[in-house]
Amino acid sequence: MNLTVIDHPLARHSLTVLRDATTDPQDFRNAAKRLTYALVMEATNRIPLRKLEIETPLEMTAGYALGDVVAVAVLRAGLGLLDAVLELIPDVKVGFAGVQRDEATALPQEYYAKMPPMEGASVLVLEPMLATGGSLSWACGKVKDSGAEDITALCVVTAPDGVTRMYEDHPDVRIVAAAHDRELNDKFYIVPGLGDMGDRLFGTL
């Protein structure tokens, strides 16, 4: 399956802060941002570069510039990853995919979608919790409808059900995550997980 789980001490530390039930919203947001730096570095290691000539204070030399990059934040939780993406990739274009989970069925319900042009761009879909896979699969379908072909999903925690769903629906989408957890519980939450990412980011528990 097209899943990469990053293994770095700084990522493990930030993930531990996110998992801890006693972490307050401000510290949770800070840890999410720090963890996203590691996710973005891994997710962008295949992005095409343009070669160009630049002048240092001493002489001319070769330089490199990123091609077009689009980030799509799956609302609400994807907003917790967006600031780090904007800092690392200043010219990134941003789209938003509004989807909420029906708590009874765990099926995604669309309420908003706004995408920039994506033809020829490397697209990062920001969906922290890959549980059943419904929301991420829906978002990837949306970005493909907008012309995206090179898609990488950034997740904080994944579950086997969600990874399997993505492999079935979008085998071409690469998934970069900080952890691959054990299972879903009877309410479709990832365990051990970290709870509801959106609620913990914004203090709406």
Which residue numbers are catalytic? Answer: 101, 105, 196, 199
CB 116 within 8 Å of CB 94: yes
Residue partners of 21: CB distance under 8 A and separation at least 6: 195
Residue partners of 150: CB distance under 8 A and separation at least 6: 121, 122, 123
Q: How far apart are CA 154 and CA 177, in angstroms?
A: 6
- Tokens read off for 15: 């993930």
- Rounded to 5°, the CA angle 199-72-78 comes to 15
| Residue that has been written with the tokens 């730096």 in this structure | 37
DSSP H or E segment with residue 75: strand 69-75
Q: How far apart are CA 45 and CA 37, in angstroms?
A: 13
| Sign of the C-alpha dihedral computed for residues 84, 166, 16 and 202 taken in this order | positive
Residue partners of 196: CB distance under 8 A and separation at least 6: 189, 205
